[in-house]
């Protein structure tokens, strides 16, 4: 299935209606089944599903690494992904962007509860990022946001080493895009403690939790953070940069990593 779909629309432009075809982002409802138990439904684009599921299970603390996944099988007719993992007892934090399946089909929990404390390798990572790096990253994100350019309906995420972009993903949800990036890092055994993670979406405390748990010391967004996200970033040693657009950006926490 493709990332975009063509639909017929009626466009009003310059005092008249025009019938034309337009591209919209493709959306599927993905059911995640872990060890024969359905745990969540995610609205997502139909691409990079293995990365998405791996990153999702790691972000929600169902697994500690990709090696704990025995098998992933995707049924594209029912849009169900079946995952076999090692049994793991963990604290379950209900994310805001998914529907958790529980007995009685009820959702509960606090999505802002950070349950992971990063090691010194994350909070005290001595990597630095410059204004030139930020400008280069912004240009690369813009050039690679193909689904967004075509539809206006996608978020993006990327992993960078200085001004070098390692890989880039898009999805209809900002959390999904981040999970795809995190999943790729796990599958490729990429060291995150010296990398920058980039997102197009608003930085909430739930986003910071993903970044902390995945071990990235620098978080960059073209959008705004919440107050709790700023507090958590400061507490856990994450350098948070928001409103990164063109040559301009705001540094909200741990500014010692940012250089001219």
Instruction: For residue range 63-110, list pLDDT tens digits in order.
Output: 999 999 999 999 999 999 999 998 654 434 444 445 444 333 323 334
Higher pLDDT, 141 or 123: 141
- Rounded to an integer, what distance in angstroms lies between the CA atom of residue 50 and that of residue 195? 22
Provide, rounded to the nearest whole percent, the portion of the chain with pLDDT above 90. 81
Instruction: For residue range 52-70, list pLDDT tens digits in order.
Output: 999 999 999 999 999 999 9
Is residue 27 packed enough to be buried (19+ CB in 10 Å), middle (13-18) or exposed (0-12)?
A: middle
CATH class, range 120-259: alpha beta
Contact, 47 vs 3, CB < 8 A? yes
Q: 18: pLDDT confidence band, cut at 50, 70 and 90?
A: very high
- Beta bridge partner(s), residue 38: 33
Instruction: For residue range 125-167, list pLDDT tens digits in order.
Output: 778 999 999 999 999 999 999 999 999 999 999 999 999 999 9
Instruction: For residue range 229-256, list pLDDT tens digits in order.
Output: 999 999 999 999 999 998 899 999 999 9
Q: Residues 16-34: what's their mean pLDDT?
A: 97
Counting every residue, how long is the chain? 260
Tell me the whole-structure pTM to 2 decimals: 0.85
How many Cβ atoms sit within 10 Å of the Cβ of residue 187? Answer: 16
**Of 221, 225, 229, 226, residue with least CA distance to 245:** 221
Task: With residue 10 as reference, give the H or E element that holds it.
Answer: strand 4-13
């Amino acid at each position: 299935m493709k990332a975009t779909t063509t639909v017929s629309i009626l466009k009003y432009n310059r005092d008249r209606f025009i019938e034309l075809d337009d591209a919209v982002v493709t959306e599927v409802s993905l059911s995640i089944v872990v060890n024969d138990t359905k745990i969540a439904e995610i609205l997502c684009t139909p691409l990079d599903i293995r990365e998405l599921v791996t990153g999702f299970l790691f972000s929600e603390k169902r697994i500690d690494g990709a090696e704990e996944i025995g098998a992933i099988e995707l049924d594209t007719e029912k849009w169900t992904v079946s995952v076999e993992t090692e049994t793991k007892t963990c604290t379950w934090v209900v994310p805001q962007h998914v529907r958790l399946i529980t007995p009685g089909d009820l959702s509960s929990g606090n999505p802002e509860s950070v349950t992971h404390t990063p090691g010194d390798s994350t909070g005290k990572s001595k990597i630095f990022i410059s204004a030139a790096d930020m400008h280069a990253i912004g240009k690369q994100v813009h050039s690679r946001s193909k689904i967004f350019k075509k539809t206006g309906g996608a978020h993006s995420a990327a992993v960078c080493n200085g001004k070098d972009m390692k890989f880039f993903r898009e999805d209809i949800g900002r959390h999904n895009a981040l999970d795809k990036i995190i999943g790729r890092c796990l599958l490729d055994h990429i060291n995150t403690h010296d990398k920058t993670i980039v997102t197009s979406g608003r930085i909430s405390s739930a986003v910071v939790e993903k970044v902390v748990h995945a071990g990235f010391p620098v978080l960059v967004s073209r959008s705004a953070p919440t107050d709790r996200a700023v507090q958590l970033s400061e507490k856990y040693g994450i350098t948070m940069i928001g409103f990164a657009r063109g040559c301009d950006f705001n540094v909200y926490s741990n500014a010692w990593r940012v250089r001219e």
